[in-house]
């Protein structure tokens, strides 16, 4: 069953999901969950370690299992990892059970935000080599090209490159409140 007040935030790593998510949840009076942090707590190790020790496929299965536990939730904002929607089962689950919001940023903006991060396994070179900002931007562009069709399937898209966090949260709060009210009204009007 679709819970319109179960809000999933998607977008590339660095797009603002973990920053905007708790603020948005607070404004809506909802709970907040960072999916990556929930997986780390459950696995008792960092995502970087999960990738290194068990591989990406195992991590993606952990994402799906953790998502499926949210099927009964309402009034919750969930920050998804940037690659969650690449998994068909995860994508179908999110579309079926909640409202999807895409926090969109350009590869250039993302590379500026992520160039000094060391905890992003997909943004490392061979043997864990640290990449230059230009290499990171090129890698982000390639990954974005692959992921963008799923991101664009969102119920809402908000550009996060040049906007202040507060104005982004205000816009999302208005859109989500309107969306939830409309969905509830449509549900009441069905025979």
Q: Is the pLDDT of residue 188 over 80?
A: no
Domains of the chain listed by start with CATH number: 6-110+149-185 (3.40.50.300)
Instruction: Name the residue among 84, 123, 105 with its Cα closest to residue 165.
Output: 105
Q: Are 123 and 132 in contact (CB under 8 A)?
A: no
Residue 45 has phi, psi (to 5 degrees) of: -160, 160
For residue 105, CA distances in Å to 18, 140, 149, 152, 186 come to 14, 11, 14, 12, 32
The pLDDT tens digits for 79-131 are: 998 889 999 999 999 999 999 999 999 888 888 877 666 555 556 666 666 67
The pLDDT tens digits for 159-183 are: 988 888 889 999 999 998 888 888 7
**Residue 161: both structure tokens together:** 């490159």
More confident of the two residues 1 and 49: 49
For residue 118, CA distances in Å to 111, 127, 135, 173 come to 13, 13, 15, 32
> Looking at residue 45, what is its pLDDT?
93
């Amino acid at each position: 069953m679709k819970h319109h007040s179960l809000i999933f935030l998607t977008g590339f790593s660095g797009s603002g999901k973990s920053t905007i998510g708790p603020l948005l949840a607070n404004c809506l009076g909802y709970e907040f969950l960072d999916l990556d942090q929930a997986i780390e707590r459950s696995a008792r190790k960092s995502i970087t370690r999960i990738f290194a020790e068990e591989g990406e496929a195992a991590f993606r299965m952990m994402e799906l299992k953790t998502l499926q536990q949210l099927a009964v939730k309402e009034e919750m904002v969930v920050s998804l990892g940037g690659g969650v929607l690449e998994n068909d089962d995860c994508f179908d689950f999110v579309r079926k059970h909640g409202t999807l919001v895409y926090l969109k940023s350009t590869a250039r903006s993302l590379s500026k935000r992520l160039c000094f991060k060391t905890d992003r396994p997909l943004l490392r070179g061979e043997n864990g080599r640290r990449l230059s900002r230009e290499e990171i931007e090129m890698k982000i562009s390639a990954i974005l090209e692959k992921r963008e069709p799923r991101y664009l399937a969102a119920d809402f898209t908000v550009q996060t490159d040049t906007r202040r966090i507060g104005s982004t949260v205000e816009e999302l709060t208005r859109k989500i409140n309107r969306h939830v009210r409309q969905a509830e009204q449509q549900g009441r009007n069905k025979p």
